[in-house]
Amino acid sequence: MSTKKITIIAAVAFLLSVVLVAAAVGGIAGLFGDSSRTDCSAVGSTTTGVAGYDSDQMANAATIVAVGKQMIVPTRGWVIAIATAMQESGLRNLGYGDRDSLGLFQQRPSQGWGTPAQIMNPTYSATQFYKHLLAVPGWQAMSLTNAAQTVQRSGFPNAYARHEHAARIIVAAVHNATCSTTAGEWTVPALGHCSSGFGPREGVFHHGLDIAAPLGTAIVAASDGLVIDAGPASGYGLWIRIQHRGGTITTYGHNNRNHVHTGQAVFAGQPIAEVGNRGQSTGPHLHFQIEVGGEAIDPVTFYRQNGIELCS
């Protein structure tokens, strides 16, 4: 085959992949009706059976926990969600149920929970469960039964509590699960709340986004790449810089501890450091910076273009 032919084939393959990625992103965004949530494929947790539940059921549990983390729901909420799904579906994504009930939480399209296709998506159904739970005033102080029943309006409300013990064991087994999104191959670098945005700040320009999180919170690689710097850096205390495909560089600063070294290849979602308070920092946070073509850009805008809401 001539070089020219190979070039043309490569070009066509590349264009096709761009179209496919665009279609996938559009499809996921369309599915949720808003582009702020992408599909959560849970990574970082065990998939072996626990407490009599098999690997399929545990994978569903991992998704429920990972979605809860992504929405910054406290651990108590994960236990309530898991116990609810145990009661409603046995942690299986059921395509049937009582009347028109569907999925992990047996949500009903006729009661406004979403379309059947949406409800059958575990990320969507878990998101809906948490949204309703978070809307219940004082839910964290409620018994598991009362909290779950307020969300679910079940015909058998007292059945939730008997799952509480096993739900705790399952949550412990999958507590490391986080959402890894393949949309655009970018993932959220740390779970926390955005405390300071990109742009002018007190007379200087803030070239990154600050994500406040407790000391020791995991920082993960935002995308696949190569570590080009890891160590002490003026102002940043301890930092990591990663170069990604196309030359985009991400920087992670004020780290308490680094887990990777210069020259190391990393993948999206791989833990690389811990949130710290080193350097010019006023409280534990991740300073997250993205440079495209050597120029710092707003991470929130960049992520939004990849279908991910960094600060929700």
Between 108 and 287, name the residue whose CB sits nearer to Zn ion. 287
| Span of 104-112, 172-180, 222-230, 280-288 interacting with Zn ion by CB under 5 A | 280-288
Size, binding site for Zn ion by CB under 5 A:
3
Residues in contact with Zn ion, shown as a per-residue x/- string from 140 to 159 under the rule CB under 5 A:
--------------------
Burial (CB count within 10 angstroms: exposed 0-12, middle 13-18, buried 19+), residue 166: middle
Tokens of 132: 């309703």
Instruction: Give the separation between CA 312 and CA 298, rounded to whole angstroms.
Output: 15
Which residue stretch of 9-17, 79-87, 157-165, 281-289 sits at the interface with Zn ion (rule: CB under 5 A)? 281-289
Q: Is 42 in a helix, a strand, or coil? A: strand
Q: How far is the CB of 158 from Zn ion (least distance, A)?
A: 49
Using CA atoms, how far apart are residues 41 and 72, in angstroms rounded to an integer?
17
In the shown chain, the binding pattern of residues 194 to 213 toward Zn ion, with x for contact by CB under 5 A and - for none, equals --------------x-x---
Which of 223, 287, 299, 302 contacts Zn ion by CB under 5 A? 287
106 or 258: CB nearest Zn ion:
258
Cβ distance to Zn ion smaller for residue 82 or 238? 238
278 binds Zn ion (CB under 5 A): no
CB of 88 or CB of 210, closer to Zn ion: 210
Q: Per CB under 5 A, which region of 21-29, 56-64, 287-295, 296-304 contacts Zn ion?
A: 287-295
- Give the CA distances from residue 196 to residues 155, 219, 281, 285, in Å, rounded to whole numbers and listed in that order: 46, 17, 12, 10
- Full DSSP string of 167-216: HHHHHHHHTT-EEE--GGG---S--SEEEE-SEEETTEEE-SEEEE--TT
User: Which residues have a Cβ under 8 Å from the Cβ of 69 and sit 6 or more positions away?
Assistant: 78, 177, 178, 179, 191
Distance between CA atoms of residues 293 and 115, nearest Å = 42
Closer residue to Zn ion (CB): 151 or 310: 310
Least separation, in Å, of the C-beta of 275 and Zn ion?
12
Main-chain phi, psi angles of 180, to 5 degrees: -115, 115
Cα separation, 268 vs 178, whole angstroms:
11
Determine if 274 is a binding residue for Zn ion (CB under 5 A).
no
Closest to Zn ion by CB, 163 or 287: 287
Considering the rule CB under 5 A, would residue 69 count as an interface residue with Zn ion?
A: no
Binding site for Zn ion (CB under 5 A): 208, 210, 287
